């Protein structure tokens, strides 16, 4: 609905319309598109209005300019192209405004009581004489304080929203700005617009630059060129590189800025002198944080390799025989070798695809080490991966972030070289997800005498953050590496495992596509449903999720099913899929708009950034239990852990019926639906399909164009990440 046409308005004379916004039927927080009902000044009936109106609330008076049109389904409506918003002046409008739950501490009941008492003077009283709210029965000192703070916060948010509405900044990002800067948000925007690039995730150079240029900052000034150069360097890191050729950096920066090349070169020199960039090798530069992370990794790995082992004496061959007897079967040669190397080598790596026996090896190692009463630590990048590891090894496991104990007040981990972990052996699962900085934080926290085993599938997508740590450690050939290549009998019958290995060989082909959903065979564990257009694809994914898969496979669509999509935008993208799936799978949940976000009790959501205070991390999934607009709170159940979010924190949550393949790394789901369309061509890569496929434990359903699947399997030319890690590990001079 968010993308619906508002009718043909060409060659129509613009008209004006003013009234109170009665209802918000639909709101898209990404672009501010609104469908609502307006009570006009001269008409008693509600008027349908459509257009872009960022951050407006029920009860506000809107002055609109636009044209009348007739929608084929929704009838007559006013399509506005510009608007002005005023705080409500009438008691009616104020009552509507406050009852929306916008102000923490005021719900429908108190909105009525306050407006009944103060009438049209209500907003002035809240703003200038908030103490008078105690004249209302039931409102005490603490509630007055809460209302006053929420009112001031809302004023700031509104001010920033209005300031930024012409710059394409989403409501969610505006809330992040206010969350970061508080009442100083507008001042920062006006005086230091480029600062927001590094301070607020999601706001890039182009947005900040548009603000800066509109405010009159010089297009060739040092502040602008510096911001452009650092932005270009960060873009390179966002692509996974840890350093970039200086000439390439200067050229890309000059193109971005449309600036003189010499001016850019001069500012690069200045940034180097100021320590904002450093030389990695002749004519290459990198972020100093990345440089320090690489150097830390090299130093700590060298120290660990050279230090004596803290393990007690272990007769390795006898231990392997004992572990086999305990397991009830004999290990394959590669499996026995992996256990042997882990016990004998201070640093070792175990890599292999699905069904090759990595879990068997970890279970054996943990059994041996526990029998020797050693201190073992198991870790994984995500909560789901940690839980899976704990279940398979019958030993406590945790996320890297919890293991290292992040201290928000210090901006770093408390476990480090000065305060190392207490352990003899560390096993790190899903190591392909470790980016450069997290890997450095982990390695520097491990005492030199302890052993380290890195476990991962080197053929999966690389880490979201910069670096290619697992592949670099394998490539340097300094550490013991066991590559598992044999698929075991219990996995051979799995269509998922077979297809995964075929994909890696570049010859994997899915089962013959079916044209109707009813043709899906419950006996198979890999399926392909043909849906060539984005519209067909979305419809098929929705029907599969709501009806067909729950019926055929007896699954819970919220808990047992995950949609993994290559792209965020477009009809077949994650955003639209979530909108459709929410309506299909959770149509009756109580819906509330809080800030810029729509929440529905029962919705499946995902945390999008690490929150160390709440002990929830990027990628954690949960279900909304309650939305309390009166107190400005959302309660989430993260697989048994209850977490409450305040109004300004909800921007860290996104719907999770559909997520990206990158977000799925480290997780497994009973059933996966994977839409694949030619429109996804930018992301159609072999390792993307391989990673998405191997997230499924029991069933996977591809939905889309068989030609898109074939394109992806043929494309093994994933972006080579430029890193300086191997050179430093091998001590190759610059």
pLDDT in tens, 482-496: 998 876 645 556 788
pLDDT score recorded for residue 160: 77
What gap in Å lies between CA 717 and CA 687, rounded to an integer?
A: 10
Q: Return the residue matching tokens 């719907």.
A: 655
Instruction: Please tell me which residue, 289 or 202, carries the higher pLDDT value.
Output: 289
- Where residue 101 falls among pLDDT bands split at 50, 70, 90? low
Q: What's the rounded mean pLDDT across residues 347-356?
A: 90
Rg, C-alpha atoms of the chain: 29
For residues 221 and 201, give the distance between their C-alpha atoms in angstroms, rounded to a whole number. Answer: 24
Q: Per residue, what are the HEC states of 483-494? A: EECCCCHHHHCC
Q: In terms of C-beta density within 10 A (0-12 exposed, 13-18 middle, 19 or more buried), how is residue 499 classed? A: buried
Residue 633 or residue 192, greater confidence: 192
Q: What is the pLDDT of residue 6?
A: 38
Is residue 284 within 8 Å of residue 724, measured between CB atoms? yes
Find the mean pLDDT for residues 17-23.
86
What per-residue confidence (pLDDT) applies to 489? 46
pLDDT of residue 108: 80
Q: How confident is the model at residue 593 (pLDDT cuts 50, 70, 90)?
A: low
Which candidate, 209, 211, 214, 212, places its Cα nearest to that of 229? Answer: 209
Q: Beta-carbon neighbour count of residue 62 at 10 Å? A: 21
Query: Greater confidence, 725 or 718?
Result: 725
Q: What is residue 165's predicted lDDT score, i.e. its pLDDT?
A: 63
Share of the chain above pLDDT 70, in %: 92
pLDDT over 80 at 673, yes or no: yes
pLDDT (0 to 100) of residue 493: 66
Least confident window among 170-179, 528-537, 634-643: 170-179
pLDDT band at 61; cut points 50, 70, 90: confident
Go through the chain and tell me how many residues it has.
734
Q: Which of 97, 101, 59 is nearest to 632 (CA)?
A: 101
d(CA 667, CA 240): 21
Q: Give me the pLDDT at residue 481, please.
A: 95
What pLDDT is attached to residue 502? 87
Residue 269 pLDDT class (50, 70, 90 cuts): very high
> What is the arithmetic mean of pLDDT over 696-716?
90
Q: Pairing mode, if any, of strands 658-660 and 604-607?
A: unpaired
Helix axes 246-257, 222-238, angle to 10 degrees: 120
Mean pLDDT of 143-148: 86
Rounded to the nearest 5 percent, the helix, strand and coil shares of the chain are 45, 20, 35
Q: Cα-flanking dihedrals φ and ψ of residue 170, to 5°?
A: -70, 160
Q: How far is 456 from 15, CA to CA, in rounded Å? A: 62
Q: What angle do CA 162, 167, 171 make, to 5 degrees?
A: 55
Mean pLDDT across the stretch 319-343? 93
Q: Is the pLDDT of residue 341 over 50?
A: yes
22 Cβ contact list (under 8 Å, min separation 6): 36, 37, 38, 39, 46, 58, 96
pLDDT for 7 equals: 40
Beta-bridge partners for 626:
635
Quote the pLDDT of residue 507: 78
Q: Return the higher-pLDDT residue of 26 and 213.
A: 213
The confidence score (pLDDT) of residue 605 equals 93
Q: Alpha helices, DSSP H only, in 394-528? A: 400-404, 436-445, 469-475, 489-492, 495-504
Rounded Cα distance, 125 and 590, in Å:
32
List pLDDT tens digits, range 379-420. 999 888 898 899 999 999 999 999 999 887 777 899 999 999
pLDDT at residue 8, rounded to an integer: 44
What's the whole-number mean pLDDT along residues 235-239?
Answer: 91
Please state, in angstroms and as integers, the Cα–Cα distance from residue 268 to each residue in 239, 260, 432, 611, following that order.
21, 13, 33, 34
Write the DSSP string, 6-19.
Answer: ----TTPPPEEEEE
CB of 62 closer than 8 Å to CB of 56:
yes
Could you report the per-residue pLDDT of 290-303, keeping only the tens digit for each?
999 999 999 999 99
Residue 20: the pLDDT is: 86
Average of pLDDT values for 443-453? 97
Q: Which of these, 618, 619, 616, lies nearest to 634 by C-alpha position?
A: 616
Tokens linked to 472: 């670099």
Weakest mean pLDDT among 18-32, 64-78, 399-413, 496-510: 18-32
d(CA 689, CA 245): 31
- Mean of the pLDDT values across residues 77-85? 85
Least confident range of 220-234, 258-272, 524-538, 602-616: 602-616
Helix (H) or strand (E) holding 177: helix 171-181
Quickly state the pLDDT bin for 155 (edges 50, 70, 90): confident
Contact 666, 591 (CB under 8 A): no
Q: How many CA atoms lie within 13 A of 526 on its CB side?
A: 17
| pLDDT (tens digit per residue) in 68-77 | 988 777 788 9
**H helices of 76-169, where?**
91-99, 108-118, 122-128, 141-164
Mean pLDDT of the chain: 87
* Amino acid 182: pLDDT: 79
User: pLDDT confidence of 246, banded at 50, 70, 90?
Assistant: very high
The confidence score (pLDDT) of residue 505 equals 84
Q: Which long-range contacts (CB under 8 A, 24 or more apart) does 89-93 make?
A: 89/61, 89/120, 90/20, 90/120, 91/115, 91/119, 91/120, 91/122, 92/20, 93/20, 93/59, 93/60, 93/61
DSSP conformation letters of 665-716: TT--EEEEEEEE-GGGGGG--HHHHHHHHTTEEEEEEEEE-HHHHHHHHH--
């Amino acid at each position: 609905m968010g993308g619906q046409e508002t009718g043909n308005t060409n060659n129509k004379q613009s008209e004006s319309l003013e009234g109170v916004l009665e209802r918000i039927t639909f709101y898209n927080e990404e672009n501010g598109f609104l469908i609502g009902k307006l009570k006009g000044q001269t008409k008693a009936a509600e008027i349908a209005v459509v257009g872009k109106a960022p951050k407006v609330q029920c009860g506000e008076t809107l002055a609109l300019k636009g044209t009348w049109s007739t929608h084929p389904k929704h009838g007559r409506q006013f399509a506005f192209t510009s608007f002005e918003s005023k705080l409500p002046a009438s008691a009616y409008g104020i009552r509507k405004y406050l009852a929306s739950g916008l102000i923490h501490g005021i719900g429908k009941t108190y909105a009525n009581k306050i407006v009944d008492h103060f009438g049209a003077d209500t907003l002035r009283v809240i703003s200038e004489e908030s103490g008078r709210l105690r004249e209302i029965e039931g409102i005490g000192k603490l509630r007055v304080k809460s209302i006053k703070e929420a009112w001031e916060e809302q004023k700031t948010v509104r001010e920033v929203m209005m300031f930024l509405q012409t710059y394409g900044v989403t409501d969610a990002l505006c809330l992040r700005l206010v969350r970061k800067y508080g009442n100083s948000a507008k001042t920062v925007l006006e005086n230091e617009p480029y600062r927001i690039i590094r301070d607020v995730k999601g706001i890039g150079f182009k947005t900040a630059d548009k603000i800066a240029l509109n405010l009159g900052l010089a297009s060739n000034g040092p502040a602008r060129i510096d911001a452009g150069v650092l932005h270009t360097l960060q873009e390179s890191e966002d692509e996974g590189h840890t350093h970039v050729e200086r000439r390439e950096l200067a050229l890309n920066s000059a193109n971005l800025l449309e600036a003189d090349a010499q001016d850019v070169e001069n500012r690069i020199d200045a940034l180097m002198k100021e320590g904002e960039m450093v030389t990695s090798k002749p004519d290459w530069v990198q972020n100093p944080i990345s440089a320090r992370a690489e150097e830390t990794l090299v130093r700590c790995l060298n120290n660990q390799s050279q230090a004596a082992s803290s393990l007690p004496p272990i007769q390795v061959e006898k231990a392997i025989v004992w572990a086999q007897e305990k397991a009830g079967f004999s290990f394959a040669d590669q499996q026995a070798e992996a256990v042997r190397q882990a016990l004998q080598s201070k640093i070792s790596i175990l890599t292999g695809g699905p069904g090759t026996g990595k879990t068997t090896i970890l279970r054996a190692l943990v059994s041996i080490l526990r029998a020797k009463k050693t201190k073992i630590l198991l870790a994984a990048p995500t909560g789901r991966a940690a839980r899976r590891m704990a279940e398979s090894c019958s030993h406590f496991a945790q996320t890297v972030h919890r293991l290292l104990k992040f201290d928000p007040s210090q901006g770093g981990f408390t476990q480090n070289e000065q305060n190392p972990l207490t352990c003899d052996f560390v096993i790190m699962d899903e190591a392909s997800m470790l980016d450069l900085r997290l890997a450095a934080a982990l390695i520097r926290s491990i005492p030199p005498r302890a052993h380290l085993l890195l476990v991962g599938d080197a053929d999966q997508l690389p880490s979201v953050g910069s670096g290619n740590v697992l592949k670099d450690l394998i490539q340097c050939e300094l550490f013991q590496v066991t590559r598992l290549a044999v698929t075991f009998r219990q996995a051979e019958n799995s269509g998922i495992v077979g297809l995964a290995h075929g994909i890696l060989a570049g010859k994997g082909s899915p089962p013959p596509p079916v044209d109707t959903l009813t043709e899906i065979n419950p006996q198979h564990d890999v399926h392909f449903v043909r849906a060539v257009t984005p519209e067909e694809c979305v419809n098929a994914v929705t029907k599969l999720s709501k009806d067909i898969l729950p019926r055929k496979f007896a699954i819970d669509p919220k808990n047992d099913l995950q949609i993994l999509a290559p792209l965020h935008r477009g009809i077949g993208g994650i955003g639209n899929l979530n909108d459709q799936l929410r309506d299909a799978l959770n149509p009756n949940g109580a819906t509330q708009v809080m800030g810029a976000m729509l929440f529905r009790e029962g919705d499946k959501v995902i945390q999008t950034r690490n929150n160390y205070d709440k002990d929830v991390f990027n990628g954690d999934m949960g279900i909304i239990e309650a939305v309390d607009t009166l107190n400005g709170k959302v309660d989430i159940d993260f697989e048994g852990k209850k977490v409450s979010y305040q109004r300004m924190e909800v921007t860290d949550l996104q719907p999770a019926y559909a997520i990206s393949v990158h977000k799925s790394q480290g997780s497994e789901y009973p059933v996966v639906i994977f839409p694949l369309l030619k429109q996804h061509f930018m992301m159609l890569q072999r390792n993307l399909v391989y990673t998405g496929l191997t997230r499924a434990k029991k069933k996977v359903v591809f939905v889309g164009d068989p030609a898109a699947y074939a394109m992806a399997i043929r494309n093994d030319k994933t972006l080579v990440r430029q890193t300086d890690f191997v050179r430093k590990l091998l001590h190759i001079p610059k």
